[in-house]
Structure 1
Amino acid sequence: MQIIKSKFTRIALLLILVHSCSKNENPQVPENDIPIGEEVFRVPVVVHIIHSGHEAGEENNLSDERVIRQIEILNEDFRRKPGTRGFNSHKDGADSRIEFVLGRQTPDGHPFNGINRVDTTGIKVDVLGYGPNHFAQYAYWNPEEYINIWTTPVPRSTECLALGIATGPDIDIPGVEHLAIPQAGDAEGILISWMHFGESEIDCHAKLGRTLTHEMGHYLGLLHTWGGADCEFNDYCEDTPAVDTQVFGRTSFPGCTGEMVQIENYMNYTHDDVMNMFTKEQAERMRYVLLHHPGRNLLLRSKALKNP
């Protein structure tokens, strides 16, 4: 029997047992035919480019090439791919074995490249604040078949100020109270400022596509490394050194126990060119969410992964 080493793994095992015992009491949780071991989980995304009437490739109507490159970066980071910025040699660094695929068909079954362009010119919607509920008025696809990602047409004056937002999963793992959990009727997904989506030449530390990596971590249940800013209960991953304050910049510093904080972790606010690491326990946590959150689990079987 494998020794259970981590705090999160012990909690996850308990939750797996609870799910197993109550399967008949919760019929909406699907049977899992995907093992928790080495299987690579493939997850479909749709990128809704919310733009203000520009031609494709101009201003906030981002080019196909930039979107495709952003998804490549996301996979380089989540798969810890050698020869890319997403690789690291840290002893606790992990290949999450999670990959993201631009949806291959629309909800009604037509061939699709994963990019949905929406011209907001002349469209009036309710002002619902800067969040998924607002942008879902322009486009929102079934979140059990696609991860909805919106590139938002914010003004250039917000460069390096408004980066990204993600909703989190409502699931029984510790710390979810620190995530943005949608309420009944709310939309879920990820917002990324168009200026910070993919690689760009903007004058900002966040220009290499890591904003989406960070926000996807939240979407799959990861906390910031400091969690609730409590040395004992921070991000519930023991292989990220405890820290009780936000982590910015590119220079490490001693955390709660004197151990240097993991400056390179994607779940900090550090510079894009410094980030290159998810840990083994962070990968466990994300995979647990994909296996046991009803909606996230259905993504693994989405028709959007297949050609129509």
Structure 2
Amino acid sequence: MKKISSRLFQIILVLVLSQSCSRDDSVQVPEEENPVNEEIMRIPLVVHVIHSGQDIGEESNLSEERIKRQIEILNEDFRRKPGTRGFNTHIDGADSKIEFVLAKQAPDGTPFNGINRIDSTLVKVDILGYGPNHYAQYAYWNPEEYINIWTTPLPRSTECLALGLATGPDVDLPGIQHLAIPQPGDAEGILVSWIHFGESDIECHARHGRTLTHEMGHYLGLLHTWGGSTCEFNDYCDDTPAVDIPVYGRTAFQGCQGEMVQIENYMNWSHDDVMNMFSKDQIARMRYVLTHHQGRNSLLHSKALENP
């Protein structure tokens, strides 16, 4: 994710989860599934705040205000909302008409604010490493009813190194093999370091809440713009200029065909204050996943979207 795996450990991720969205004659998103004039798709989220016993609002036990602001940012980005950092006037940019809602009820049907706090010092889990299977031991709700998001209590020394990670959907689109597809029995969801969840004043380019935007793109089937790291096999989105190397920073450069790369695309590892667009083909790809992937599609009809 803009960072590791999907933004994860930018270095580790390049090796672990190299996403791609490429140009190839494999299964492409049908033109008729263009997002323009489509109905808005709403998806429920549960944020599992894994902390180390701090009071609410301190360190990894993030405040409710910061969490809600992060979801606002996510929606500003996906809806290309005017007057926000998520707005763009790029000819290939568009409103995805995908929105995210903090779950309104828990699995047992009780009222819920979408935030599930877990004191990791009180829960004994096996050490499995950094990934959904590890954090699912603290909390894991039905992924057909909720998108599970874990804010991870990593040490401050990981700032700007470990950002986030997401699993991808197993669906009939080209390049899916470059995503982190869960195996049978594996957990699926999104990890984001608490340091990079929401807005903050940290001394890092990833401080405006775009880590979650990037990782959500992976969760909905998007690859990094460089995809398979070749000019022929990059991200399978024709309106993102082909590039065969990771795109970092805030300065555009020439890609494979001499076109300037979309430095502002959320599926790069660009600086947070530069990113502000999903392309029309990327949006069509995400909406295809929400329509054709059984688990992702079921989210659109989840009871968690409604008050109990």
- In the superposition, the TM-score normalised over structure 2's length comes to 0.90
Equivalent pair of 1:8/1:236 in contact (CA under 8 Å): no
User: Which residue number corresponds to residue 188 of structure 1?
Assistant: 188
Matched residue type, 2:157: S
User: Displacement, 1:36?
Assistant: 9.0
- 1:188 and 1:8 mapped to 2: Cα distance? 29
Q: How many residues align?
A: 285
- 1:163 and 1:12 mapped to 2: Cα distance? 30
User: Which residue number corresponds to residue 88 of structure 1?
Assistant: 88
User: Displacement, 1:10?
Assistant: 7.2
Matched residue type, 1:46: V
Deviates more, 1:67-76 or 1:229-238: 229-238
- 1:13 and 1:216 mapped to 2: Cα distance? 22
Equivalent pair of 2:43/2:300 in contact (CA under 8 Å): yes
Deviations 1:202-242 (A, max 9, x none): 11000000000000000000000000011112100000000
User: Which residue number corresponds to residue 228 of structure 2?
Assistant: 228
Deviations 1:24-78 (A, max 9, x none): xxxxxxxxxxx99510000000000000000110110000000000000000000
Alpha-carbon spacing, 1:36–1:140, altered in 2? closer, same or farther (3 Å): farther
Identity value in percent: 75
Alpha-carbon spacing, 1:96–1:7, altered in 2? closer, same or farther (3 Å): farther
The runs of 4+ residues in structure 1 deviating greater than 2 Å are 6-14
Equivalent pair of 1:104/1:305 in contact (CA under 8 Å): yes
Q: Which has the higher contact order (CA 8 A, sep 6+)?
A: 2
Alpha-carbon spacing, 1:63–1:166, altered in 2? closer, same or farther (3 Å): same
Deviations 1:61-113 (A, max 9, x none): 00000000000000000000000000000000010000000000000000000
- In the superposition, the TM-score normalised over structure 1's length comes to 0.90
Alpha-carbon spacing, 1:10–1:181, altered in 2? closer, same or farther (3 Å): closer
CA RMSD of aligned residues (A): 1.8
User: Which residue number corresponds to residue 285 of structure 2?
Assistant: 285
User: Displacement, 1:289?
Assistant: 0.1
Matched residue type, 1:160: C
SS in 1 for 2:30: helix
Matched residue type, 2:67: V
- 1:266 and 1:179 mapped to 2: Cα distance? 16
- 2:25 and 2:221 mapped to 1: Cα distance? 12
- 1:85 and 1:291 mapped to 2: Cα distance? 28
User: Which residue number corresponds to residue 13 of structure 1?
Assistant: 30
Gaps of 5+ in 2: 1-22
- 1:166 and 1:68 mapped to 2: Cα distance? 20
Equivalent pair of 1:74/1:210 in contact (CA under 8 Å): yes
2:123 is aligned with 1:106: no
Matched residue type, 1:290: L
SS in 1 for 2:150: strand
User: Which residue number corresponds to residue 128 of structure 1?
Assistant: 128
- 1:132 and 1:304 mapped to 2: Cα distance? 21
- 1:93 and 1:152 mapped to 2: Cα distance? 32
- 1:8 and 1:251 mapped to 2: Cα distance? 31
Matched residue type, 1:104: K
User: Which residue number corresponds to residue 146 of structure 1?
Assistant: 146
- 1:44 and 1:8 mapped to 2: Cα distance? 34
- 1:283 and 1:241 mapped to 2: Cα distance? 16
- 2:144 and 2:111 mapped to 1: Cα distance? 19
Equivalent pair of 1:8/1:237 in contact (CA under 8 Å): no
Deviations 1:117-159 (A, max 9, x none): 0011132110011000000000000000000000000001000
Equivalent pair of 1:36/1:287 in contact (CA under 8 Å): no
Equivalent pair of 1:48/1:115 in contact (CA under 8 Å): yes
User: Displacement, 1:295?
Assistant: 0.2
- 2:28 and 2:174 mapped to 1: Cα distance? 8
Equivalent pair of 1:105/1:306 in contact (CA under 8 Å): yes
Deviations 1:248-289 (A, max 9, x none): 000000000000000000000000000000000000000000
User: Which residue number corresponds to residue 170 of structure 2?
Assistant: 170
User: Which residue number corresponds to residue 50 of structure 1?
Assistant: 50
Matched residue type, 2:82: P
- 1:10 and 1:152 mapped to 2: Cα distance? 36
Deviates more, 1:46-55 or 1:118-127: 118-127
Equivalent pair of 2:46/2:114 in contact (CA under 8 Å): yes
